[in-house]
């Protein structure tokens, strides 16, 4: 059994026991969080009805807060002496899926 869940602006395909990095959520390490299911699949039966998905729950346990890879941003304009260097690291929450209830 697996579910496709929404976390921020991204969607993740998860199954019980999977460890995934989702957008940063305000929860301490060891807390349990609920993820909103978008599409739930159980064997051959696909549940995509919004009424049935309202009853489905995907719960996960927070393992850690991590950071993604560093992204280097460079802006440059020719012949004007303008150059700007910037970096960014996206913050993620690492969670382990504990249960999928339909």
End-to-end CA distance of the chain: 10
Q: Return the pLDDT at 44.
A: 60
The predicted model scores a pTM of: 0.79
Tens digit of each residue's pLDDT (9 = 90 or more) over 13-41: 999 999 999 999 999 999 999 988 777 76
Tens of pLDDT, residues 28-79: 999 999 988 777 766 567 777 777 777 788 999 999 999 999 999 999 999 9
Domain that holds residue 48: 2-101
Q: Alpha-carbon distance 86 to 83, whole Å? A: 10
**Could you give the number of structural domains in the chain?**
1
Find the Cα–Cα–Cα–Cα dihedral 44, 36, 16, 60, rounded to 10°.
Answer: -170
Taking only the tens place, the pLDDT of each residue in 82-91 is 999 999 999 9
């Amino acid at each position: 059994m697996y579910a496709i869940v929404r976390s921020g602006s991204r969607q993740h395909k998860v199954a019980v026991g999977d460890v995934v990095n989702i957008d940063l959520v305000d929860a301490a390490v060891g807390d349990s969080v609920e993820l909103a299911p978008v599409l739930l699949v159980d064997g051959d039966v696909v549940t995509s009805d919004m009424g049935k998905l309202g009853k489905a729950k995907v719960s996960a346990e927070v393992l850690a807060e991590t950071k993604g890879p560093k992204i280097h941003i460079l802006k440059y304009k020719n012949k004007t002496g303008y150059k700007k260097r910037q970096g960014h690291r996206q913050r993620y929450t690492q969670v382990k899926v504990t249960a999928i209830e339909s």
